[in-house]
Amino acid sequence: MYQLAETFGIERRTVSAILHRHHVAMRRQGLADDQVEDAVRLYDQGWSLARIGEQMDVTADTVRKRLLERGVIMRDPPGTPTHRSW
């Protein structure tokens, strides 16, 4: 998809939408090393795993696994109660 997007000068998400619309079977490739670096940067900027996954056309769990492999410390999910000892 990335190569098609570059070749035709369109976004990867546009390529994905066109392929889905035409029922083209696709396989998930995971994240390439340069994508993992981008994911780390985006996560450090406050992006959620889900948002990064959507941007990179992978699941949030795939993003999480690759970030953990790089030693990134995961934030608590929004809405997670803070446990305090009184």
pLDDT in tens, 49-83: 999 999 998 889 999 999 999 999 999 876 666 55
CA 52-38-47 angle, 5° bins: 35
Cβ(12)–Cβ(57) below 8 Å: yes
Task: Identify the CA nearest to 31 among candidates 23, 20, 42.
Answer: 42
pLDDT above 60 (res 84):
no
Residue with tokens 């035409």: 22
pLDDT above 70 (res 28):
no
Work out the pLDDT band at 25, boundaries 50, 70, 90.
Answer: confident
- Measure CA 50 to chain center: 7
* The amino acid at 80: T
DSSP 8-state symbol, 83: P
